[in-house]
Structure 1
C-alpha cells in the first residue's frame, strides 16, 4: 500500500493494524444480455454494505475500545492484495481473486480495524495455472505479463466519462456489452463450471440488457429512479447512451 493510501487509511481508522477480508459470490447464470454479469443484480456496494455493517456492529459490541470500518470499493485499501495476503483463493493472471468453486465471480469487502487481530492461519494465495487465456482474449491488450493498462480495458472504458479518443471509441464500438466486460473471466478455466451464488440479491430481479429504446427520452432523474440500485448506473445516463450509440454505429 502506497503512502497516500496509508494516510487515507489512517484517517478512516487511526492506528489501524489489520484488514479483515471477505469474498462474496455473485454468479447467477449466463443468460444473454449486454451488461456484465456483476452489474445485473443489485449494486454490490449496497449488498456488501448490508452484510458488513452488522458485522462491524457486532465486533464493536465485543471490542468496544476498537474501531471497525467497512469498505467496498470505496476505501484506500488494495482489496485484492489484502485478499491474497490473507490466503483467500488464487492470484489470477487477469489480476482477479479466484475462489473455487465460485471462480473469480466474487466481490470483495474489507473491514479496517485497529484491533490487533492474529495473522491468517494460511499461507498467502498461490498463483493460478498461468494458462495465458485471459491475456490472449483481451481485445485491447490490457493484460501484458504482470502489468495492467486500464486505458485499454473494455470494462474501464465502458465506465469512462467524457469524449474518448478514436482508438478507445473503436474498441467500444466493436464490444458486445454496453457496460463492463467479462471476456477474461469467461475463458478462465477456473470459471468453467462455477457454483452459483445463494444470495437472492444477486439472483433475483436481474437486469440483463439495456437498449437505446430503454433510455430514449429518459431524464437523469428517471434513470436513477429505475436503475439507481444497479452498479451500471453510478456513472450516469450519458455514459450508457454513448456506449449504446457507439455499438449501434458499427451496424
Structure 2
C-alpha cells in the first residue's frame, strides 16, 4: 500500500484485501468508541460471580468497554478472523481430547505477527500511526468489537458466529487513530429456536447467551487453579483434558467451518500419534518438549496431570 492520502473507503478496501492475503478469512472495521450495552451485560455477569477465578476480568473495566481508552485518539478498530478448524480431529487412539484451538502453535504469536505486517502496510500508505495490536491479550471485548465490525453475531453458546464460517476461529484487532469506512454492525441473532449447544453441555454451564465459567469444562481444565476438579462433575467430563468444543461441535453453523490454511495451526506429528497411554505417562520434560509455544503451556504439566487423574478416577 505505498500510496499516501488514500480516500478512506479505498484505504479500507485495501486493508481488507491485504488482511485476506495474510490469511485472515474476514476483516471488518468499526468506529472506536464505548460499548454501553456490552458493558452492562459484562457487569451483570461479573456481579453473579460467573467469571470464577478469572480475576483479570474485573480489572481495567473502563478500558475494556471503550477502545479510545486503550489507544490515544483512536478512531477505528480493524477486526480480523482466522480459522483454526483442523482438517482432521485427533484420532480415537488418543482417547483424551483437547480443544481444537490448541492443536497447533500458540495463536497469540501467529496473529500478532500477521497484524504487525498489516499495520506496517497501513503505515506505508498513511505514515506513522498511533496504534496497538490485540489478540485476546488485553482488556478488549473481542467478540463485541468483531460483531460491531459486521463479522458475526453472538450465539446462545456466547461465541461469535460467522454466517459464512461458523465459530472455529481466532479474533484479532488493530486499534488505530485513523478514520476509515465502517461496516454495519450485525444486530440480528441467527440462532432462532435452536438450543443444541445448551442441551449438549454436559455440566449445565450454558443458558441462552450466558456462560457460567464455574461449570464450564474449558474453564475448569485451563483457568481453574484448584488442586482437584470438584467431585460434582464426576461422570460428566467426556474425556476433555484441555478445553472443550462440545457447544461448538453441535452448532449447525459449524457445518460451514473453514479448514485452517495456516501451517502453524496444524497439529504436530507427535500430537497426532499420542495414545491414551502416552497421555497418562507424560512426564514433565516430554510435556515441555511437545507443548512448548502451544496453548497447553497455559495449564502446564501439573494442571494436565490433574485433569487426566480426574478422568482416571471416574
Q: Indicate the TM-score class for this superposition, using the shorter chain for normalisation.
A: 0.7 to 0.9
Judged with a 3 Å threshold, the aligned counterparts in structure 2 of structure 1 residues 192 and 225 are, in CA distance, closer, same or farther, namely same
- The match for 1:30 is 89
1:126 aligns with 2:163: no
Structure 2 residue ranges without an equivalent (≥5): 1-34, 40-58
Matching residue of 2:116: 53
Contact 2:220 2:229 in 1 (8 A): no
Match of 1:110 among 155, 168, 173: 173
Shift in CA distance, 224/5, structure 1 to aligned 2, threshold 3 Å? farther
Aligned: 1:138 with 2:196: no
Report the CA distance shift for 1:167/1:25 in structure 2 as closer, same or farther (over 3 A): same
Counterpart selection for 2:242 from 171, 179, 183: 179
1:4 maps to 2:60: yes
Q: Whole-Å Cα distance in 1 between the matches of residues 234 and 264 of structure 2?
A: 34
Matches within 5 A, 1:195-214: 195-203=258-266, 205=268, 207-208=271-272, 209=274, 211=276, 213-214=278-279
1:163 to 218, 224, 227: 227
Structure 1: stretches of 5+ with no match in the other structure? none
CA distance in 2, matches of 1:193, 1:72: 23
Larger radius of gyration: 2
Deviations 1:126-183 (CA, angstroms, capped at 9, x unpaired) = 3122301001111121111232211111111110223246346536x73311111111
1:17-75 deviation digits (Å, cap 9, x = unpaired): 32111010111233434111111112211221221111122223333342221111102
- SS of the aligned residue for 2:242 comes to coil
- RMSD between aligned alpha carbons? 2.6
Pick from 148, 152, 157: which aligns with 1:94? 157
Structure 2 CA distance for partners of 1:113 and 1:193, relative to 1, 3 Å:
closer
Q: Are residues 1:247 and 2:311 paired?
A: yes
TM-score norm. by structure 2 comes to: 0.70
Name which of 274, 278, 283 aligns with 1:218.
283
